[in-house]
Amino acid sequence: MDRLSLRLGLTVALLLAAGILTASLLIFWKHEQAVLTLARENAAAEARLVRVAVEHQMLRQDQRQGKHHGRDQRLIGRMVRELVKDGRVKRVLVLDRRGRVRVTSDPALASRRFGQSSPTCRGCHAGGKRPSSRSAVIEVDGGKILRGIEPIPNREACQRCHSPAQRYNGLIVVDVPLDRVLSRIDRAAVGFSVATVIIGLALLVGVMALFRRMVVRRLHRVESAAKAFAAGDLARRVPVRGHDTIARVEREFNTMADAVSGLLDRVEEHRRSLEKVMNSVDDGVVVLDEDRRIIAANEAYRRRFPRASDEIIGVRCCAEANGGLGCSCDDDDMGQCPTVRCLVSGEVQVSMRNRPTAEGQVRLEEVVASPIRSGGEEVRQVVEVWRDISDRRTVEARLAEHQRMVSLGMIASGFSHEVNTPLASIATCLSGIRARVQGAGSPTVDQWRDVAEYAQVAARQVERCGAITQQFLSLARGRTLDQDIIDLGDCARAVARLCEHISAAAGVSLEVRPPSRPQSVVANVSAVQQVLLNLLLNAIEASGRGQRVLVTVDPGPPPSLVVRDEGVGIQRDALPRIFEPFFSLREGGTGLGLFVSMNLAQTWYGDIQVDSTPGEGTTFRVLFPGKENDPREEQELGAT
């Protein structure tokens, strides 16, 4: 029996027992009252019968003028004694108006006088009540009897012997034993109890059987269907029978099951659609929980790690999922894992990974870790997107090279101008030397002194040509990822020197203000020169005749190179796009200068900021990381 049936059975049993017990007690009490009432009526009838007999004898005495008075009294006594022989009456008493026993069936009570304070007389005489026919249950000699009392009225026929002033001539007392009545009541009580128990058990069994058939079995069917539905049998339904409450529950369960099945079908359809979308993306997508265990991954992520197991859902990322290929998420280098940083900071994290391929090649992957927040804004999961940027970096390098060649082409004329000037001086010196040594005879001391001066000037011009050539070659060699300690003031002066002829031809004043003391940074010298060259060329082209381009070094923090011009400026709506590739604000521009400059600045973990007011000029600020915010220093500290 299940717990519901047991609890309901006990509840019904208690309710039935209480109801049946209450009804039985009420019925038993009514039965007892009816039996006692019947006994009282019998006692009263016996008393009236005795009264009639006594009156009849007394009237006969009066008619015979008392000749046979004693014999008539004996007749009354014999009649009284006859009444108690069958056992229905225990005793009969005939009392005169003073309460003295005149006739009795019990010799022990002969001539006894009952006072008004006795139980027999107190009922009528208390409170001035008038005597009347009545009966009462009293205890006599340790037992209960039903005593019937019948007054003998003083009729007109009786007033020949009795005074007319008195209303009653005596009292008839009839005692009826209650043993039979009480035993009958006890038997009835036992019968009621047995009947109550039998009826109660029968009702309980009937209610339990009916409840089990009408309620429990049907609820069991609903439970069985619910378990089957939860186990995956989405077609399972409950047969609906009737129109009662449980039938409504069955119908609602079927309606709910239909709705859930439809919802699960839609969820499954959305899941398949999401899988298709994820698998159609060439970027590797993987979802990780707080323990960095894989929740979901697309096919592109699986293809990136051929040595990984076929089933990676539930395993830990990095070392377990892909054998540690391209990852640095071991216990000694957790701070470099973008997922760990994303879980701690709650912000998007970006990392670069070298991923070896099965063919022995090395591909560069950009890993972007984005947080998935719960309802409480806590990061519970992380989405990693692996994007192969090897080809993009190759294209960017080609674009940078193209932009570098464009810049070199623009300064080629300046290079020729810079070289031609010392070459002309050298040619003049050589002509002077030839003139001094080609004359007749040996050169004089003054001529040798002139030759020495010409040779010294030519040597200085040769050194100047070498410096200019070396500077141009340094810029033409191309960028490299090697980092050097460079002085920003020297770099600014060297690049400005290459652009002097261009600014002079455009009528623009080019000024370099070096810092009061050397400002050194860690960066690639060729990359810094190319960035500054691109910014200076743009500033010169944006300026008009008579305007100025100023290059300064800001010690920071962070340290920076600042290029200001007084040109046309940049419109506000164009500012967000100036670093996009192939976006140019001048006719004939390649749109690659600022794009390449930003990429080069990022190689030393720097940045380029711009502030422009249309019609007033533009300021570009090239930022360099200082010691306190250099990511390379943080990496070294973390590794240590």
Residue 96's φ and ψ, nearest 5 degrees, are -80, -175
What is 284-388's CATH superfamily? PAS domain (3.30.450.20)
What integer pLDDT is reported at residue 619 of this predicted model?
93
ω before 557 within 30° of 0 (cis)?
yes
Who's near 198: CB < 8 A, 6+ residues apart? none
Sheet holding 548-554, edge to edge: 509-513, 548-554, 560-565, 617-623, 607-613
> pLDDT tens digit string along 31-49?
777 777 777 777 777 777 7
Q: How many Cα neighbours within 13 Å face the side chain of 109?
A: 20
One-letter amino acid of 451: V
Going by pLDDT thresholds of 50, 70 and 90, the confidence category of residue 404 is low
CB 135 within 8 A of CB 148: yes
Range scoring the smallest mean pLDDT among 122-136, 171-185, 238-252, 582-596: 122-136
What integer pLDDT is reported at residue 122 of this predicted model?
60
What is 3-184's CATH superfamily? PAS domain (3.30.450.20)
Backbone φ/ψ region at 115: left (φ over 0), alpha (ψ -120 to 50), beta: beta
> Rounded to whole angstroms, how far apart are CA atoms 522 and 487?
9
Q: Are domains 3-184 and 395-635 of this chain identical in fold?
A: no
Range scoring the smallest mean pLDDT among 154-168, 398-412, 487-501: 398-412
Looking at the domain that runs over 395-635, which CATH code has it been given?
A: 3.30.565.10
> pLDDT tens digit string along 261-300?
888 888 888 888 888 887 888 788 888 888 888 888 888 8
ω before 558 within 30° of 0 (cis)?
yes
| Domain residue ranges in the chain | 3-184, 237-280, 284-388, 395-635
Going by pLDDT thresholds of 50, 70 and 90, the confidence category of residue 551 is very high
